[in-house]
Amino acid sequence: MDVIKAQTAGFCMGVDLALRKLDAVVNANKDRQLFTLGPIIHNPQVLEDYRQKGVQVATSPEDIPVGAQVVIRAHGVPCHVEQELVNRNIEVLDATCPKVKKAQLSIGRCGSEGRIALLFGEANHPEVKGLLSYASSGAFVFESREELNDFKFMPGEAYCLAAQTTQDKTIFAQISDELQKNSDKNVQVLHTICNATQNRQDEAIKLAKEVDFVVVVGGFESGNTRRLAQVVTDSGTPAMHVETFKDIKVDQLQGIQRVGLTAGASTPAKIIDEVEQFLKGL
């Protein structure tokens, strides 16, 4: 079986930066309790490695004792949560992805101008919850064009359109074009989808045209990994989303001659390499 691996598979800049910051704290901190508020990234294997190093995952600010250190996850947190931690004299180290931070501040500026945010993303995703906290003039979250079609635009209101940084750029562009063609709607478009996400999706689509099947590696809770698998299947090529080589359903690869391999932005190189070797051994 021929295996063609995407060049962009694996850690993006934001994930790599967040883990480097966490590593620095782990190496320097031998006595104080160390937490992340929510998982630092959406990859269970990485989280287990840090758990063994003493890093605890807190689900809420109340779980973090006074005197401890907390690292803000790559997805960011709502602004009021971060302030709550500071007020409780907990040392906060911010590992929010710079692209997410830029999106937060852009939505915040639109909110201060009285614009209502139209946010293309997953309502329950931690990044989206953080972005919404900056929308001071109100917000509407939608996961599909159909949901936005049901939204009631109010005459005289101003809006801004933004997206979760890992969303599908093609769908976002279609939504943006449709809104801007309608002169009755006062909508400012914020281009908040990360370039790394766009590059991975573009390469996945190109790869899908060159192979018979694509294996996408990454945490099952990882939104950007799920969307990589989705853009592949949308292009007409079957795909399989796995966390490790142990999840590969060999029966689905029977008769496949060329398989593509890509991975989400929070997938370690070690796991990608293990999947590649397993596929080559079939």
Residue type, 128: V
Q: DSSP string covering 20-55, please?
A: HHHHHHHHH-SSS-EEEES-SSS-HHHHHHHHHTTE
CA 36 to chain centre: 17
Q: Which of 197, 196, 130, 184 is nearest to 156 (CA)?
A: 184
Residue 160's DSSP bridge partners are 117, 188
What count of other Cβ atoms lies within 10 Å of the Cβ of residue 99?
20
As given in the structure block, the two tokens for residue 190 are 């914020």
**From 62, 82, 122, 127, the catalytic residue:** 127
As given in the structure block, the two tokens for residue 79 are 């602004």
Residues 81/97, Cβ–Cβ less than 8 Å: no
Residues 281/10, Cβ–Cβ less than 8 Å: no
For the question of residue 127 being annotated catalytic, the response is yes
Residues 134/79, Cβ–Cβ less than 8 Å: yes
The residue behind tokens 């919404």 is 132
Residues 12/194, Cβ–Cβ less than 8 Å: yes
Q: Give the Cα separation of 51 and 76 in Å (integer).
A: 20
Q: Is 52 exposed, middle or buried (0-12, 13-18, 19+ CB in 10 A)?
A: exposed
Residues catalogued as catalytic: 127
